[in-house]
Homo-oligomer: A and B are copies of this chain.
């Protein structure tokens, strides 16, 4: 009971870990806009943590590509160029269908039920026009799926990829609304139930391609937008 920050279930963890997750979630859910500068002291004030933990969290996030370190020892939320989007698409297509394939080999009925539950929450969020809810549920769906694949290294790679397009995802959802958002999850879950490995892989491929196409289409070089 030494910490007076918001009780979001991060008790007992070291400060740098808590700070890391805090910032990571803010990147993932779009609380930080692309191009926005990130200062250490600002974070120190905002999160009520010391300087060293913030520093370590920032270093870790830049190593993962969630943040971008300019040469001038300044850190910003990266803005995706068309080049980056193309590369991210290629990387995701190379890895995530494989994870789906592995997951289809290992998934059980209980997990499928859980995934369906998450997917229903996702549909609800879309129906409500709840962007944050959609992003959160979508991420949770894929995270849960990756856990089933039992491939921690590849999963870590993919998580890093998600960190990179998180901020842009938020911007895009704000632009196009929650209509036309990708959801190949039904096909994926059906493939899980029939143990069709190839179909699961294909469904994931389609989901990734659809999502990244959305980002690519809306990728305007917005610099200083209204936060």
Interface residues of A (CB under 8 A from B): 14, 16, 52, 55-56, 59-60, 63-65, 73, 84, 87-88, 90-91, 94-95, 98, 151-154, 156-157, 160-161, 164
> Which single residue of chain B is at the shortest CB-CB distance from A69?
B17
| Bound Cα distance A10, B156 (Å) | 30
Selected A-B contacts with CB under 8 Å, 18 pairs: A14-B73, A16-B59, A52-B52, A55-B56, A59-B59, A59-B60, A60-B60, A63-B64, A87-B151, A87-B152, A88-B153, A91-B153, A91-B154, A94-B94, A94-B95, A95-B95, A153-B164, A157-B160
Which B residues lie within 8 Å of A151 (CB)? 87, 90
Residues A153 and B84 in contact in the complex (CB < 8 Å), given A14-B73, A90-B98? yes
What is the CB-to-nearest-CB distance from A176 to chain B, in angstroms, rounded to a whole number?
24
Task: Name the prevailing secondary structure of the A interface residues.
Answer: helix
Which B residues lie within 8 Å of A95 (CB)? 91, 94-95
| Bound Cα distance A98, B95 (Å) | 12
Which B residues lie within 8 Å of A64 (CB)? 63
What is the CB-to-nearest-CB distance from A69 to chain B, in angstroms, rounded to a whole number?
10
Which B residues lie within 8 Å of A157 (CB)? 91, 157, 160
Across the A-B interface, the 6 shortest Cβ-Cβ residue pairs: A94-B94, A60-B63, A56-B59, A87-B153, A63-B63, A87-B151
Q: A16-B59, A55-B56, A60-B63 are in contact. List 19 more A-B contacts (CB 8 A).
A: A14-B73, A56-B59, A59-B60, A63-B63, A84-B153, A87-B151, A87-B152, A87-B154, A90-B98, A90-B154, A91-B95, A91-B153, A91-B154, A91-B157, A94-B94, A94-B95, A153-B161, A153-B164, A157-B160
What is the CB-to-nearest-CB distance from A110 to chain B, in angstroms, rounded to a whole number?
23
